[in-house]
Structure 1
Amino acid sequence: MDKFLIVGLGNIGDEYDMTRHNTGFMILDAFAEASNIVFDDKRYGFVAETSIKGRKVILLKPSTYMNLSGNAVRYWMNKENIDIKRLLVIVDDLALPLGTLRLKASGSNAGHNGLGHIQSVLGTDRYSRLRVGIGNEFERGMQIQWVLGKYNEEEMKVLEPKFDTACDIIRSFVLSGVDFTMNAFNKKK
């Protein structure tokens, strides 16, 4: 059976709920809810499993905190014997407008500490990532406060409808691969 690891990046703890940096967690929560599955507290993270047309899908919300996300990713890839081509990391992105979704097959970490740690632990940047725009409406020097700030009601009105699209991207990635999915979704405005 083909296995896929879908990782949503974020930080554990109530103080991080609904923050921009936890957008990856929020999308996995939406996917789990739509799939009628729940997360269990396991080694290095909260894990839920489902299958899509005979393919096993493991959802992972690392409990290592953002800057050590690579440890959780490596552990679950090794434990489940998952090929790097079947890894998808969902991450918040300051460089994209709020709610913009961009799937990439590889690339730099763009200064994102979670992606940076995954890249250093795996020894490559050749893994798929779904970047989710969180906007950058902050004053100079206020980046950390922005990223760790909570979404307001207006922002959630923009973002929440995108969760369904992000779930469609995950399903397409599992069923059709990254290249097909990039072509299908990255063009859409």
Structure 2
Amino acid sequence: MTRFLIIGLGNPGINYNNTRHNIGFFILNKISKIYNILFKKEKFGYISKLKYNNKYILLLKPTTYMNNSGKSVLFWMKKKNILLENIIVISDDIYLKFGSVRIRKKGGSGGHNGLKSIEKEIKTSNYTRFKFGIGNNLEKFNNCNYVLENWKKEEIDFLNLKYNKIVKIIFSFIKNRLEDTINLFEKY
């Protein structure tokens, strides 16, 4: 059975639950609700498992904090023998307009410390990433504070309206592979 690893980046702990930087955790929590599965704390992460389209899927919320996410990703890739082409990393992106998404097969970290850590640990930037725009207001320009601020009510309302489509995009990657997914959802 083909194995996939879906990584939602974020920071563990109640203080970070509703922050912009935790969009990866938010999306994985929505997936767990849709499929009625629970996360269990294990080494370097909260883990949940499911089968979809005759594929084994491991959901991972790293507990190593954003700046050390790569440690968790590498551990679970090795432990579950998951190929690089079968991982997708969900993260926030301050350079994308709020609510927009970008799916890429490879690329740089864009200054994102979680992505930097993953690239350092797995020794490549050639992995699939799903970036969700958090729309940094460049007048604020203190990125650290901005990404660690709580979502505004209207942002949460928007996310709750769009999460089904976001989940469909992620599961399209598992079912249809990356190129077909990009073609299907290019106009998100």
- Residue 118 of structure 2: aligned partner: 118
Cα offsets for 1:50-97 (capped at 9, x unmatched): 011210000000000000000000000000000000000000000111
Structure 1 residues not aligned, in runs of 5+: none
Give % identity.
Answer: 39
Contact 2:140 2:146 in 1 (8 A): no
Q: Report if the CA contact (8 A) 1:105-1:128 is conserved.
A: yes
Residue equivalent to 1:167: 167
CA RMSD, aligned part only?
1.0
Does the Cα contact within 8 Å between 2:91 and 2:131 map onto a contact in 1? yes
Runs of at least 5 residues in structure 2 that lack an aligned partner in the other structure: none
Mapping for residues 1-189 of structure 1, pairs under 5 Å: 1-188=1-188
Opposite residue 137 of structure 1, the aligned amino acid is: N
The answer to whether the 8 Å contact 1:98/1:159 transfers is no
Task: State TM-score, norm by structure 2.
Answer: 0.97
| TM-score (ref. length: structure 1) | 0.97
Partner of 1:183, secondary structure, is helix
Secondary structure of 2:110's aligned partner: coil
Deviation at 1:42, TM superposition (A): 0.5
Letter paired with 1:99: G
3-state secondary structure, aligned to 1:106 = coil
The 2-side partners of 1:126 and 1:79 are apart by 20
Inter-partner Cα distance in structure 1 for 2:58 and 2:29:
13
Q: Displacement, 1:102?
A: 1.0
The amino acid that maps onto 2:67 is: N
> How many residues get paired?
188
